[in-house]
A and B are shown apart, each in its own frame.
Chain A
Amino acid sequence: MKKISITSDNYEFLEKVKQLSGEPITLCDQCGTCAGSCPMISEMDISPSEMLRLVQLGQEEVLDTKAMWLCASCFTCTVRCPRGLDLSKIAEALRQITLRKAVDQIDIKLISEEELSRLPQIALVSACRKFTG
Chain B
Amino acid sequence: MKKYLIIATVATLFSGVTLFGVESKTVEKVYQKECGSCHMAYQPQFLPQRSWSKMMKKLDNHFDVDASLDANDNKTILVYLTSNAGDVKASTKHFSKMSNSITSNETPLRISQTPYFLREHRGIPKRFIEQKEVKSLANCTACHTTANQGSYSERAIKIPNYGRWED
Q: Do A and B originate from a single complex?
A: no
Using a CB–CB cutoff of 8 Å, the interface residues on chain B facing chain A are none
